[in-house]
């Protein structure tokens, strides 16, 4: 993995996924551990829907690796503590709170500023949108978690304008904080893949980055424990407000918040055809965005190609079988107690026998086909948010926010162009990705053309 990264290879496209296009279930040996990896729908259903056969937590070595960075929380736990953690999170994702997008709209206005001013031809300059999108998500997620924005976007705009200097290593909008966040994300992947040998590759900079990232939740937690009132009159109820009602343990509070700080940045937007079905410029309602059929297709197609988590795994709690994968690929396959089974969502979503010869292409129109829409819900071939008891609590919030942001972008800009000199353009439009807590593009240089009429 480290060698492939140094050679500029894409870990998913060049290393993990290709063998699974031919052999849909195979066995890999990683550091002496035999891991079954699959892209079969029947196997995925067995893993996720059968609680008695597969432990709903990652391999114990991997759990310990994650705890070093994420702490002990709803992601790295199982059993009573997991149920307790999930119960604390669930009220935060009620329909009323999900549909309150005022904070998202405020954050988007700063995001538009970050994309740059228009020239005389109404174009912005080329800009790498990954950092601005990252700061946008950081602002909206901190408001969700803590009841007030981390102001990463405003801090960055102020630094660019020369109003402040990035003198605080804990400043969310600063380059140093962003670099620390990305390093922690990659470190997480390294620890999971290398297991007990991860320590051989760790450096002091990893621990320094972790301390930087922890400063943000720690500052909010300290205020919450002391019962300090939030300064902003617009401050809302956040997840932390609920958590402090259950525990005052600063470490537990930080652990629960850290898991939710590591998130995916979506970047595939269907700009060419969507503007003909959207309202002109005003902020839209949830009902309007949900009623836009093609918008839902765009989001589904984005999640098919670039789901938040590309790989996931479970342990067998007893000797069991998977329905297919043995012999010629159609026979059952034995799984030993304690053996790890990994399902590769990234490769599954690119199987040509399921999605067609154009499986690697971004085509929202494919979701008009009833043969594809049957995969929604319990189809198991489309699995961007793992199903079963550990179904992502924030799934609907993420989808709602994504839909709202896409529509507002299309109201603001009517054309988007890829920088012809960017790595993506030179590499046949293949998206270069980084892997960590989630997959994300490493760079995406675009310019934007102003739409007719103002955008509120």
Instruction: Judge whether 69 and 184 are in contact, CB under 8 Å.
Output: yes
Nearest to 383 by CA among 415, 351, 356, 345: 345
**CA separation for the pair 121, 397 (Å, rounded):** 37
**CA separation for the pair 165, 88 (Å, rounded):** 38
Residue with tokens 């109003």: 163
**CA separation for the pair 366, 321 (Å, rounded):** 34
Q: Is 392 annotated as a binding residue?
A: yes
Nearest to 443 by CA among 453, 428, 454, 430: 430
Q: Is 287 exposed, middle or buried (0-12, 13-18, 19+ CB in 10 A)?
A: exposed
- Tokens of residue 380, six digits: 């198991």
The DSSP output letter for 401 is H
DSSP H helical segments within 364-438, as ranges?
370-373, 395-412, 423-426
Q: Are strands 33-38 and 340-344 parallel, antiparallel or unpaired?
A: parallel
Annotated binding site for heme, which residues?
392
Annotated binding site, which residues?
392
């Amino acid at each position: 993995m480290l060698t492939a990264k140094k050679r500029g290879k894409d870990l998913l496209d060049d290393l993990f996924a290709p063998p699974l296009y031919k052999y849909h279930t195979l066995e890999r040996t990683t550091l002496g551990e035999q891991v079954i990896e699959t892209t079969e729908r029947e196997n995925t259903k067995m893993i996720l829907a059968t609680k008695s056969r597969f432990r709903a937590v990652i391999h114990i070595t991997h759990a310990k690796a994650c705890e070093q960075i994420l702490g002990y929380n709803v992601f790295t736990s199982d059993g009573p503590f997991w149920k307790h953690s999930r119960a604390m999170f669930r009220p935060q994702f009620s329909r009323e709170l999900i549909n309150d997008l005022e904070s998202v709209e405020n954050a988007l206005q700063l995001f538009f500023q970050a994309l740059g001013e228009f020239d005389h031809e109404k174009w912005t300059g080329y800009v790498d949108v990954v950092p601005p999108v990252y700061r946008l998500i950081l602002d909206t997620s901190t408001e969700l978690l803590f009841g007030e924005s981390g102001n990463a976007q405003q801090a960055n705009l102020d630094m660019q304008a020369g109003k402040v200097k990035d003198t605080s290593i804990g400043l969310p909008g600063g380059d140093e904080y962003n670099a620390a966040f990305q390093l922690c994300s990659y470190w997480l992947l390294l620890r999971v893949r290398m297991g007990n040998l991860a320590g051989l590759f760790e450096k002091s900079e990893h621990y320094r980055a972790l301390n930087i990232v922890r400063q943000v939740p720690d500052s909010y937690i300290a205020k919450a424990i002391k019962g300090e009132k939030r300064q902003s009159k617009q401050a809302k109820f956040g997840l932390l407000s609920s958590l402090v009602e259950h525990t005052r343990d600063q470490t537990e509070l930080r652990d629960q918040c850290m898991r939710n700080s590591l998130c995916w940045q979506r970047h595939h937007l269907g700009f060419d055809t969507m503007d003909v079905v959207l309202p002109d410029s005003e902020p839209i309602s949830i009902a309007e965005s949900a009623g836009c059929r093609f918008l839902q297709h765009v989001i589904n197609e984005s999640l098919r190609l670039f789901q938040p988590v590309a790989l996931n795994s479970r342990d067998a709690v007893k000797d069991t079988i998977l329905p297919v994968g043995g012999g010629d690929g159609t026979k059952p396959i034995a799984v030993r107690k304690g053996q790890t089974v990994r399902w590769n969502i990234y490769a599954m979503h690119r199987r040509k026998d399921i999605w067609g010869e154009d499986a690697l292409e971004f085509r929202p129109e494919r979701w008009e086909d009833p043969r594809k829409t049957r995969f929604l819900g319990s189809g198991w071939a489309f699995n961007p948010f793992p199903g079963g008891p550990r179904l992502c609590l924030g799934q609907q919030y993420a989808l709602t926010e994504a839909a709202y942001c896409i529509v507002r972008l299309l109201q603001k800009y009517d054309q988007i162009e890829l920088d012809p000199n960017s790595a993506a353009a030179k590499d046949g439009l293949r998206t270069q990705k980084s892997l960590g807590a989630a997959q994300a593009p490493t760079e995406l240089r675009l310019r934007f053309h102003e739409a007719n009429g103002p955008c509120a």
